[in-house]
Amino acid sequence: MVRSDRRSALFTIASASGNTFAFAWADDLPSAFNGPTWARVLCAKGSGLGLDGLFRLHRPEPGSPWTMDHWDADGTYSFCSNGSRAALGLQGAPRSEFVDATSSGESIRLRRFTGGPNLYTGIRMPEGPESGLKVPPIKFLEPAAFGFVGNPQLVLEVEDVDAVDLTSFAPPLRHHPVFPEGTNVNILQPTGKGTARIRSWERGVEGETLCCGTGCAVAVAWLAQRTGLSCWRLQPKGEDTVDVSVEIKADGSWRELWLSGRVRIIATVAPDASLGLL
């Protein structure tokens, strides 16, 4: 239950493989909390914290999936894989190794890895009839794939990801009319057996991010379908690599599509009154 007498709200700032988010527990938020509005204000670059998204976490209840909600920087309610697995590192999160959860309406499973000084978590992506690789709705000169994994992902293979100007290449595809809900745009460069580089332009953020977890997952599902190799390590724009494994079928459907990588807990912050949120 959201407390109606709160006059301030504390957010934990955490990142997963370069994507950075604000997290707050639902019962620590004021009754006036509005996810889309708060996301647009807190995530804004220059006037806000320059984040990739905002999460509201509900206290875990025994015997029930842990539930959370996510809003993109533009206020869109959406599923986010990296943010969902970053939540597992927060104080108050379930402490078991495996955690079943619902994130923005998508059924997922989270995993906490133990050992070593750093925190690593994993997420099993949504699966079922709506998820999987689809035939791209338009033809490209480059090899391309389209997939849905709680959100739409377009993946194109290029010779050199660094040679592509994403600021001009991605927006026309992100807003192309064949994608009614828009799409994330990912460019992929295989570099060896089980390794590849990837860059991602994300809707909602409307720019390139250091890592798009769902984009990495769809890219590996496509690579696994093409090569038969089920485990890959991807180097996104950020410094942290991500590991993806999958059981892929010839028809493009998948199961046990897991994304794993490093999580960092960064700070606890309170919004200033000048932001007009409290």
Q: What is the pLDDT of residues 94-148, one digit of tens each?
A: 999 999 999 999 999 999 997 778 999 999 999 988 899 998 888 998 899 999 9
- What is the pLDDT at residue 7? 54
Sign of CA dihedral 177, 180, 185, 190: negative
Residues 88 and 142 reside in one and the same domain = no
Q: How far apart are CA 16 and CA 21, in angstroms?
A: 9
Q: How far apart are the first and last CA of the chain?
A: 18
Same domain, 143 and 186: yes
Task: Indicate whether 115 and 142 sit together in one domain.
Answer: no
**For residue 269, is it within any domain?**
yes
pLDDT, the chain, mean: 93
Provide the 3-class DSSP secondary structure of residue 216.
helix
Range 71-80 average pLDDT:
96
pTM: 0.91
CB atoms < 10 A from the CB of 75, how many? 18
Q: How many secondary structure helices (H) and strands (E) does the chain include?
A: 4, 16
User: Residues 24, 71: one domain?
Assistant: yes
5 pLDDT tier (thresholds 50, 70, 90): very low
Tell me the HSE value of 86 on the side-chain side, using a 13 A CA sphere: 28
Range of the domain at 33: 11-125+264-275
At 150, the pLDDT band (50, 70, 90 cuts) reads: confident
pLDDT attached to residue 156:
97
Per-residue confidence (pLDDT) for residue 24, from 0 to 100:
97
- Say if CB 20 and CB 44 are below 8 A apart: no
CATH number at residue 243: 3.10.310.10
- Shared domain for 173 and 161, answered yes or no, is yes
Work out how many domains the chain is built from and give that number. 2
**117 part of a folded domain:** yes
pLDDT tens per residue across span 151-196: 999 999 999 999 999 999 999 999 999 998 899 999 999 999 999 9
Give bridge partners of residue 14 from the DSSP assignment: 21, 265
Give the per-residue pLDDT at 4: 45
Residues 66 and 154 in one domain: no
Look up residue 253 and give its amino acid. S
pLDDT for 2 equals 43
Residue type, position 76, single letter: T
In a domain, 5, yes or no: no
Residue 229 belongs to some domain of the structure: yes
Residues 51 and 115 in one domain: yes
- Token code pair at residue 63: 């015997």
pLDDT of 161 reads: 97
